[in-house]
Amino acid sequence: MSNSGGKSGAKRLIMAATGYRHMGYSVIPVFGKARPGSEKIAAVPWKAFQQRHATEYEISQWYDQNDFAGLAIITGRISGLVVLDFDDEILAQSFARQLPHLTQTRTIRSGSRGLPHYYYKLPSHLSISTHKCAGVDLQADGRYVVTSPTEGYTLERGGQPLMLTSADIQAIEGFLDRLVVPASQPEVKELRSITNQITEPITISPDDLRDLYLDRTNRTGRNNALFQTALQARDAGYDQGTTFQLLAELHAKVVCKPSERPQERFAEAKKTIASAYSRPARKRTEISNGLPNSVREYFLTNQQTALVRVLDGLYISGLMGEDVITERQICDRLADVVGRYSVLQALKAAYSDGNPVFRTLENPSPRPPSPTDVAALGCHSTNNICILFRGTASDKNKTGQKRGRRPRRYILPTISELCEKLGIVNKGGDALQLEDVQSATAYRHAVNRSLIQRRPGRYTRQWLANRIGVSLRTWQRYLKQGQIQARATFHEFAISWRNLNTVPAGLEISGAFLRDDRGRRYPAVQTIARRLLGSGRRVTYLRQDANCYWVGPVSPEMVQKQPETAQNRVKTALKRRDWAPLPIVAVESQKSPNRPQIPVQSMPTGYQLEGSQNPVLRTLAVLDTPVKMLKQSKRFYRRELTDASLEQLARRLYERVASLCSENRSHLSMANARKLVVQYGQKLVKKVLFVLQQREQIENPAGFVWAFVRSEAVAQRRYVMQA
């Protein structure tokens, strides 16, 4: 329907332009069908509209008083829009395979080629420049794009444009950078794809074509099998006549309806093969991202790592579904990447219904017997004559054929077949490299990293670990590989007397704490919250949520700065081994009637660092954290302490908690009892023993001991710092 030469077309353009204006886009008119040959040219000087939006009066004047029949949107900062304009179908398909999530946005189809224009929302704190490559343009500042309802431009996917992130911008720029033609090679017009390093093709012999046809006939029917096999023969380089000679006679002999005659089957085969050859052969140099993420996750969670590595490696190396390949060809193609043992495990793998993943082709009958087999025919006849003779060479050797049975041939499953068998949906996959399948660890790490790199955000650790089929502890090791960063996030609730019951009344919950208006943290216990509210403090209850993960260096805005306190300065000094005197070291020598004098605690053997004269140890003693930062390994607490008094106190604590625990309650181990005595000192442990003697009904004695000692240590340290 043309927008020119009619009031309805002008009204439609005015309504669309006004709607775009209210969405914050800067619009201009183009000639459209009103001037053939100049459909995309701006009908008015549009430089001024890169700085301001057109008024509604100007919009109505463009289409009421003139015959402009097109509408365009100025991209860049003025509209906050970035548009990816494809002019090449191969590049559009490649982009959809590599970055499928970036195609889930507002999309306009151009009428001339029917190719997509992807619209994206550009945040104010990010920037991206205009790119012009062969086959695709990235329209940003200083450009405009023709949009619907201009004739020839249709809305394929509505809604708001996708908001770009820094990772999305890097992915788009990386895709465009691979298409840039070097200046030193002017004869190269465009780079449409990345070819793999493996140049040895997988050839299909005439016997393979016949066997493929027979295999498909039992599954998809006679006509479909002939068409698919003819397509594969066409792509492999067979001409139409050769394909007809190979398959037509076989097609005529297949059992079918008795009423059909061989002449009719020959005519049917000729038409089917001609239909397959009516289009050019498919190129095998297309970019392959490997398996979809859903297929990878299914096999990883079901502990089929060898199968998914082999499948992904074959797809990344350039193979396509329905290719015929032998075991030796797989090993040669994935040499130095996947071992033969993993290849054999993959070839034996099967679906849940028992059918193999790699289907095999039926081998033809063995080769004719060798001349030496003639002696076996008369081995049962008895005579007294011994005849020695030499067998003549077979004529088969002259043709280059080998004796014996041919190697077993396997059919590489297609991605659609895998998704259908597994009952999952293909939503695209992340691009992996061939070196990512070198080992099971490298493959899981690549799958984990590619997701976080493509979609940084909040994820639970257990979900990420279950996704690649490993335990939580194993998954945490993957964070250390590469540049995967993590930041803790919290849910915050303001606590008042009305919602005080929100804070737990019993044991301290892991990942939750209280924070007052001074920025100090306390255990998430209701009694502490009541005490803070009674003293007039503003209290906030924080509960840890899923961590935020991203790939790259640590950015300043992603790091939560901790307040500069004396404890933080001591921790920094210990971590850097900085033994220089600190500003708070003089606390021990100061004599003030208002400041409590806390003697340096005697530390057990194994904790002394250059004696008690060390300034850092003296500072730690004043802060009542003498040993907490000097952590020992778990094995240290499994043996008896060298100090007999400390060992005796730990034994008393262990026996007291054990007497209060029943069968269903958690116990306190002897190692943890020693750890409490060493880290928090004798004074606090004796205090908690006194409390345990006074209170008989404690739901969780072991947890109560830890929570009590920690809270008392924090309160004592805060008292020292405030004094």
Q: What CA dihedral angle connects 19, 24, 26 and 32, to 10 degrees?
A: -30
Length of the chain: 723
Phi, psi (degrees; rounded to nearest 5) at 660: -90, -10
Three-class HEC string of 207-235:
HHHHHHHHHHHHHHCHHHHHHHHHHHHHH
Question: If you average pLDDT over every residue of the chain, what do you get?
Answer: 75
Is residue 161 within 8 A of residue 106, CB to CB? The reply is: yes
pLDDT in tens, 89-109: 878 888 887 888 888 889 998
Q: What is the pTM of this model?
A: 0.46
pLDDT at 398: 42
At a CB cut-off of 8 Å and minimum separation 6, what does 646 contact? 604, 674, 677, 678, 682
Q: Angle 615-622/566-576 helices, nearest 10 degrees?
A: 150
Structure confidence at residue 663 as a pLDDT band (50, 70, 90)? low
Residue 323 pLDDT greater than 90, yes or no: no
Residue 119 pLDDT greater than 90, yes or no: yes
Structure confidence at residue 73 as a pLDDT band (50, 70, 90)? very high
pLDDT at 163: 87
CA distances from 141 to 42, 103, 349 (A): 16, 21, 53
**Pick from 161, 176, 173: which is nearest to 83 by CA?**
161
pLDDT in tens, 526-552: 889 889 998 989 999 998 888 888 887
pLDDT in tens, 547-596: 888 887 655 444 444 444 545 555 554 444 433 333 333 333 334 444 44
Residues facing 458 on adjacent strands: 548
